[in-house]
Structure 1
Amino acid sequence: MFMYLKNLYENELYSAVSQLALVILSEPNHRTTMPADQYFLTLCYHGYSLYEEHHYNTAEEILQNALLVRKTFMKAKANVPMGEPGVNHFSEVELRYKLALCYKATKQLSEAIATLQIIPTKSRSSKVNMLMFQLIQLNGLNYDKSAILPLKAVLKECPMNLEAITGLAKLGLKPAEILLCIGDSISPSNRQWLGHFIEAQYKIHATQFLPAVESLKMIEANNEMILVLIGQCYFYAGNPEAAVTYLTRAHQISKYMKDGLVTLAAVYGSLDRLEDLEKMTPPNLCLTENTSEYWFILAQFVYTLGKHEKALYFSQRSLNLNPNNNIEASILKAKVFHKTKKYKEALNLLRILENRAAYRFEIYELYVDIYTATNRFREAQLISRRIFKQQGAHLTARSFVLAAKTYFSQSDPQIKAKSKPLLESALTKDPYCLQAVFLLVDLLLELGDSAGAIKLIKKQCAIKPNAKLYAILGDILSKEKNQMKAVESYTMAIKMDPMNQRANTGLMALGQSSQAPDESNHRAYEFDEMLEVPTNAPEAESDEPWSDFEIESR
């Protein structure tokens, strides 16, 4: 009967193997009369077939038994008959590798790591070392230095293993150190390509996203993986418009890309591009319900619609399927907590996220938004100072905006005015930074400088027209009784965005009455990112942490 079992296994008829193996193993006569090697192979065929049929828990039990049987007859030096050469194929290393895969499939990551660690270092194959690294990452130990040795071993045998290169860059190895692991085993042309890739990965994990883009563009071609990396770098650097260009190109090449789809959905969400997000949802989505990406895209779509409870449910479904490395779903969940004013839950999640993805700027934005919303201005400023220290010479416009928010959100006019030099610094860094423009326009209006606000809006719209800015300009001009120019501004806003409520309301008000609109219509921070200004006056010392910074930022 064993020969029939072997025949089924060799023909990859795995469900049939499992059925016949149960017959053999449950029959006492078969078990007592079978040679040791055949009994061992029956367990191996059964365990491997169960794995292929996705019966992981049962496979774990059978493979553990197979390891014990192998150990027993190898210890006894039972002179296993060589009539069954398959015994050598199912070595201890191979069995432990398959058992670790079963543990991985059932999310028993610590057990999987422990199973592989028993294998002597010199006996570990490249696939064992690679699986060890993947398990360490999945277990949330993203920066565990114990993963360096397995990855170095992989590169010595497989020098073009890009996943191993990415892992070493993530763990802080410099390009020269990674190239040293590879040696001289690859051709000069491949080495040049690999050099650009290693350099890009090093810059990505050093949070130098725009320099990384330059390195990636050297090897861009029509490569889906590289296009996704460029799109992600632009997104992490705060340029979602550029990110869309590269991510959509990658999506056109492969509609089944998973990692890129998640980033693309997050980018569409940040740009409020509902129509594009809707095109990614079922039945258009080329993913199934058992993937974390499927649920994240749904979560992002309903969040952008303003349905926060559904967004929380869908993001949690995504996290259930991928709990450790699902950064986008975790960030979205934190955003939902912030929107629904569950600040304690949001802060707890942000602390976890900061350990796993310190490079994501959204984490620090949410920290500041929550602290300012709860009048914890000192803590908000400390978070912003931390960003300045981290970025050093690579300060970005949004870092200045984040610092400005910590002043702008306070009710004291003198403290609020301290946000002005920070916002001006942001616009010096990036003239297209809309967040800075909206905040600065609102600040100028509060200071009574409507002429300055008008000048700033016109300058910005000349560079990059924006419907919200035109609507704000219409409000200002309407208040100043310049109805003709106000109509022009509202019309421009509606032309760019027919659903712009502010412009439509303002235009209707001008048509119905010549009376100036209510003061509340002139506030200039209608954009989504703005915080609600707290009514409680801050303590005087909340300004103290920035005393030395203000001089530097001017």
Structure 2
Amino acid sequence: MALQQKKALSKTSKVRPSTGNSASTPQSQCLPSEIEVKYKMAECYTMLKQDKDAIAILDGIPSRQRTPKINMMLANLYKKAGQERPSVTSYKEVLRQCPLALDAILGLLSLSVKGAEVASMTMNVIQTVPNLDWLSVWIKAYAFVHTGDNSRAINTICSLEKKSLLRDNVDLLGSLADLYFRAGDSKNSVLKFEQAQMLDPYLIKGMDVYGYLLAREGRLEDVENLGCRLFNISDQHAEPWVVSGCHSFYSKRYSRALYLGAKAIQLNSNSVQALLLKGAALRNMGRVQEAIIHFREAIRLAPCRLDCYEDPREPTQEAHKELSARYAVTQTLQ
């Protein structure tokens, strides 16, 4: 569709009006701008997993003509490609135009930009817009999240959750559930996931971890029901496949778990839970070297997650020692 629009735009741009005062034709009025067409083309490329082409298209738009959504897409694409500097620049440009863009704030924090620097970019709007006193605390909380300080992140988010404006906020509950999981508190993690999905029955984010925790507790019927519910919402996310994979794994159907884990990775190559699932299935099928590759990739993506190092399904004692040592180094550096 975007390509067709671009062709139509090219044709109409060559047609000159007979006089300078003549009104534009209805056809030209209906056409989107060239910049919008390029944005749509970039969207198509990302759906086709052709990120380099998407970046090339967006890079071709002059900086002054880039809208916040264009800069946001560029920032996410750069981040995915491991190009941190241009990603940070693009996220900052989004915040310059839209100081309340929470996704841009999270993007900067995930790229190790200091919380104080990010907060300074929102200070003017916090001081002028009423009822935004929570935002500086929110930034502080997620700065702790991205530095791996689980304890302070939990305490700060809990203080936010008590405020009337953010009480029963699904995103905060999901973040708390994930933090409790990282801290090894499975009981509170499951509790927060349950609260979040009760408030939002269509919630998908984080449900892969929730399914894994339920499976580990032996609640396989609940895992099966969760997987069915998620598939009814969407089969284009990794989470439903991971949840079903956990059910298969803990039912000792490792070949099935391997297939489901691979499908989840195909949909989201950065899914840590999918990598752990596939690695565990490979390990239990005797394919140790392949399993190690998947565990190491999970560690690369989530160096602060202890379960990537100490998962009881680790391939070999030697590999476990190596991965645990790497975790200790990571914690020391922080």
TM-score (structure 2 length as normaliser): 0.87
Q: 1:71 to 1:357 in 2, by over 3 A?
A: farther
Which amino acid in the other structure matches residue 118 of structure 1?
G
1:283 to partner: Cα distance: 6.0
Distance in 2 separating the partners of 1:80 and 1:96: 29
Distance in 1 separating the partners of 2:277 and 2:204: 17
Distance in 1 separating the partners of 2:283 and 2:19: 66
Deviations 1:105-138 (A, max 9, x none): 222222111110111112100111112123334x
Distance in 1 separating the partners of 2:135 and 2:82: 23
Distance in 1 separating the partners of 2:19 and 2:42: 28
2:98 match: 158
Matched, 1:148 2:88: yes
Q: 1:343 to 1:72 in 2, by over 3 A?
A: farther
Which amino acid in the other structure matches residue 136 of structure 1?
Y
1:200 match: 141
Please tell me whether the aligned partners of residues 5 and 31 of structure 2 are also in contact (alpha carbons under 8 angstroms). Answer: no
Q: 1:263 to 1:70 in 2, by over 3 A?
A: farther
Please tell me whether the aligned partners of residues 3 and 41 of structure 2 are also in contact (alpha carbons under 8 angstroms). Answer: no
Please tell me whether the aligned partners of residues 215 and 250 of structure 2 are also in contact (alpha carbons under 8 angstroms). Answer: yes
Match of 2:169 among 215, 223, 228: 223
Please tell me whether the aligned partners of residues 343 and 370 of structure 1 are also in contact (alpha carbons under 8 angstroms). Answer: yes
Matched, 1:342 2:291: no
1:306 match: 252
2:204 match: 258
Match of 1:354 among 257, 274, 299: 299
1:284 to partner: Cα distance: 7.9
1:200 to partner: Cα distance: 1.5
1:131 match: 73
Which amino acid in the other structure matches residue 328 of structure 2?
F
1:112 match: 54
Distance in 1 separating the partners of 2:230 and 2:40: 36
1:287 match: 233
Distance in 2 separating the partners of 1:368 and 1:282: 26
Deviations 1:304-352 (A, max 9, x none): 2121111111122222222x33221111111111222211111222333
Gaps of 5+ in 2: 162-166
Q: Does the residue aligned with 1:185 lie in a helix, a strand or coil?
A: helix
Q: How does 1:276-425 map to 2 (within 5 A)?
A: 276-282=222-228, 286-322=232-268, 324-365=269-310, 369-372=314-317, 376=318, 380-392=320-332
Q: 1:283 to 1:380 in 2, by over 3 A?
A: closer
1:506 match: none
Q: How many residues matched?
A: 327
Please tell me whether the aligned partners of residues 224 and 253 of structure 1 are also in contact (alpha carbons under 8 angstroms). Answer: yes
Please tell me whether the aligned partners of residues 280 and 313 of structure 2 are also in contact (alpha carbons under 8 angstroms). Answer: no
Please tell me whether the aligned partners of residues 168 and 178 of structure 1 are also in contact (alpha carbons under 8 angstroms). Answer: yes
Q: How does 1:493-504 map to 2 (within 5 A)?
A: none
1:78 to partner: Cα distance: 10
TM-score (structure 1 length as normaliser): 0.54
1:225 to partner: Cα distance: 0.8
2:125 match: 185
Percentage of pairs with the same residue:
25
Deviations 1:468-510 (A, max 9, x none): xxxxxxxxxxxxxxxxxxxxxxxxxxxxxxxxxxxxxxxxxxx
Q: 1:328 to 1:71 in 2, by over 3 A?
A: farther
Which amino acid in the other structure matches residue 194 of structure 2?
T
Q: Does the residue aligned with 2:234 lie in a helix, a strand or coil?
A: coil
Q: 1:305 to 1:80 in 2, by over 3 A?
A: farther
Distance in 1 separating the partners of 2:46 and 2:135: 30
Distance in 2 separating the partners of 1:96 and 1:150: 17
Distance in 2 separating the partners of 1:344 and 1:98: 41
Deviations 1:224-263 (A, max 9, x none): 1100000011112221111011110001101110103222
1:64 to partner: Cα distance: 4.1
1:89 to partner: Cα distance: 6.5
Deviations 1:495-541 (A, max 9, x none): xxxxxxxxxxxxxxxxxxxxxxxxxxxxxxxxxxxxxxxxxxxxxxx
Please tell me whether the aligned partners of residues 215 and 247 of structure 2 are also in contact (alpha carbons under 8 angstroms). Answer: yes
